[in-house]
């Protein structure tokens, strides 16, 4: 459950009215609930208590330093995909020894940095990568802990841009080739074969695909464990969340909990997976991002203009696809609510940003409450893959971020000054 709720007509994050934040800090503005982040982390951590495990939060979903710090304090490890993310984790007080370094294209410099910092594992995605890690480890006189990412060739039933576990995409090593690869890797003297990893995709709302993948891979993991003395099995991330509707509204019937709708919950996930994982006797790693951060954040925006054309009502807001690209990129649904709830008829509206692209919309023809110019809206479930995918397109600043904890509020990222956007650009000498 998340901590965004109406008190009377006003939408709150924990104990803080969101409109107060919008007025104080300006919009567009990301707001995160610490209680929600922590609640989701604990829920998964508790559900998996039946096996020795480590939850490694996927930093790519939300990499704000305060978010990372809050999770590090709860004992979280981190799934990282770049040297930059490792630097962030360290800056936030996270432990490199609880970091799993993933990604298909790790550079020499990134590998060296991560080795020096002592990450828990490099999740390698190809044979050339294993050779590269081995070479660098030899130069540094170290043994690099590695796992190979197995591609189980399982359909995750999710959006094609976020499916990763089939042979159609660039991730991992084909299931049938993994054993021979471990045998060859075992001869590389500067590698320590520590585990096996897999990840089948993101926003998976049923347990079935996870179970199918674990069932398929577990016997292979057992053989590799016996042969190479492995220590862990990472089952990846991908637990889906409720986007639609994300908020309990006036009538209770309108909103049903994930469990009531048959959507994945940590309890269901654990109930089906723990019995398959327990017999392996290995440490289980998980790499959830969205499940922890998704419903812990909203993006606040102000209605600048209402434009009525013959056919449409456009609510032109001050947030845009550079702040939250998911609707434009994946046709993703984000629920849009007013910070001041009111009854009355709904009007079919398109909520659009100021960017010069017709793809710059947050919804189309969606029945929304009637609003006035100057009012604020919240785009819900924006805590994962929101701010982190932000860009400076149209020379727009990256939006600020605020963290709420009970009644307390902290600005955890300031609004980027416009001059900072082009601070590293130069006029060529011959144009001076
Ligand atoms: N582990 C690996 C190896 C991954 O590639 C990912 C996500 C995760 C864990 C975390 O997945 P999660 O638990 O958050 O589903 N930008 C897209 C999602 C891309 C996911 C990429 N990989 C979106 O906005 O939906």
* CATH number for 233: 3.20.20.10
State whether the beta carbon of 149 lies less than 6 angstroms from ligand 1: no
pTM (predicted TM-score): 0.96
pLDDT bracket for residue 170 (50, 70, 90): confident
d(CA 129, CA 181): 12
Residue 365's φ and ψ, nearest 5 degrees, are 45, 45
Residues 186 and 246 in one domain: yes
Using alpha carbons, select from 308, 297, 367, 296 the residue that is nearest to residue 338.
Answer: 367
Q: Helix (H, G, I), strand (E, B), or coil: what is residue 70?
A: helix
Q: Would you say residue 248 has pLDDT above 90?
A: no
Q: Would you say residue 245 has pLDDT above 90?
A: no
CATH number at residue 409: 2.40.37.10
Ligand 1 centre to CA of 12 (Å) is 28
Helix (H) or strand (E) holding 47: helix 34-47
Q: Which of 51-55, 121-125, 262-266, 345-349 has the lowest mean pLDDT?
A: 262-266
Q: What pLDDT does 252 receive? A: 42
d(CA 50, CA 270): 8
Is 356 known to be catalytic?
yes
Residues 117 and 151 in one domain: yes
Beta bridge partners of 173: 150
Q: Of 13, 99, 356, 363, which residue is the catalytic one?
A: 356
Whether 432 is covered by a domain: the verdict is no
Whether 212 is covered by a domain: the verdict is yes
Residues 6+ apart with CB under 8 A from 357: 321, 328
Cα dist from 207 to 14, 263, 355, whole Å: 30, 8, 38
State whether the beta carbon of 202 lies less than 6 angstroms from ligand 1: yes
Residue 90's φ and ψ, nearest 5 degrees, are -65, -45
Tell me the residue range of the domain where 200 lies. Answer: 35-288
Residues 83 and 112 in one domain: yes
Ligand 1 atom having least distance to the Cα of 199: 3
Beta bridge partners of 7: 10
Residues 268 and 317 in one domain: no
Beta bridge partners of 377: 301, 338
State whether the beta carbon of 58 lies less than 6 angstroms from ligand 1: yes
The residue to mutate among 166, 289, 332, having the most atoms of ligand 1 within 8 angstroms of its beta carbon, is 289
Q: Would you say residue 299 has pLDDT above 60?
A: yes
Average pLDDT, the chain: 95
State whether the beta carbon of 290 lies less than 6 angstroms from ligand 1: yes
Residue 22's φ and ψ, nearest 5 degrees, are -60, -40
């Amino acid at each position: 459950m998340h901590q965004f709720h109406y008190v009377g007509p006003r939408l709150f994050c924990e104990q803080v009215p969101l409109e107060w934040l919008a007025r104080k800090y300006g919009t567009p503005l990301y707001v995160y609930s610490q209680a929600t982040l922590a609640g989701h982390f604990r829920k998964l951590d508790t559900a998996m208590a039946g096996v020795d495990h480590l939850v490694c939060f996927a930093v790519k979903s939300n990499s704000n330093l305060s978010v990372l710090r809050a999770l590090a304090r709860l004992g979280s490890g981190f799934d990282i995909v770049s040297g930059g993310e490792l630097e962030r984790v360290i800056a936030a007080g996270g432990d490199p020894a609880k970091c799993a370094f993933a990604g298909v294209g790790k550079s020499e410099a990134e590998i060296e940095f991560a080795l020096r910092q002592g990450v828990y594992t490099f999740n390698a995605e190809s044979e050339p990568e294993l050779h590269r890690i081995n070479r660098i480890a030899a130069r540094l006189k170290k043994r690099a802990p590695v796992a190979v990412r197995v591609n189980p060739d399982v359909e995750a039933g999710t959006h094609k841009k976020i499916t990763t576990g089939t042979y159609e995409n660039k991730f991992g090593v084909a299931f049938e080739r993994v054993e021979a690869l471990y045998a060859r890797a075992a001869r590389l003297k500067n590698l320590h074969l520590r585990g096996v990893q897999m990840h089948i995709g993101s926003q998976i709302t049923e347990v079935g695909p996870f179970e199918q993948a674990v069932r398929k891979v577990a016997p292979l993991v057992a053989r590799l464990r016996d042969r190479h003395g492995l220590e862990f099995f990472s089952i990846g991330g991908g637990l889906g969340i409720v986007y639609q509707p994300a908020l309990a509204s006036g009538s209770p019937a309108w909103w049903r909990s994930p469990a009531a709708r048959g959507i994945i919950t940590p309890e269901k996930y654990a109930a089906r997976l723990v019995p398959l994982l327990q017999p392996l006797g290995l440490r289980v790693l998980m790499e959830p991002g969205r499940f922890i951060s998704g419903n812990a954040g909203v993006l606040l925006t102000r209605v600048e203009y209402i434009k009525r054309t013959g056919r449409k009502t456009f609510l032109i807001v001050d947030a845009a696809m550079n702040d939250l690209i998911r609707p434009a990129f994946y046709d993703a649904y984000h629920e849009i609510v007013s910070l001041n709830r009111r009854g009355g008829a709904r009007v079919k509206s398109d909520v659009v940003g100021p960017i010069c692209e017709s793809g710059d919309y947050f919804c189309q023809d969606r029945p929304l409450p009637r609003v006035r110019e100057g009012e604020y809206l919240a785009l819900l479930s924006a805590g994962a893959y929101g701010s982190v995918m932000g860009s400076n397109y149209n020379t727009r600043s990256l939006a600020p971020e605020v963290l709420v904890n009970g009644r307390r509020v902290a600005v955890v990222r300031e609004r980027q000054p416009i001059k900072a956007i082009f601070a590293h650009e130069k006029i060529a000498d011959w144009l001076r």
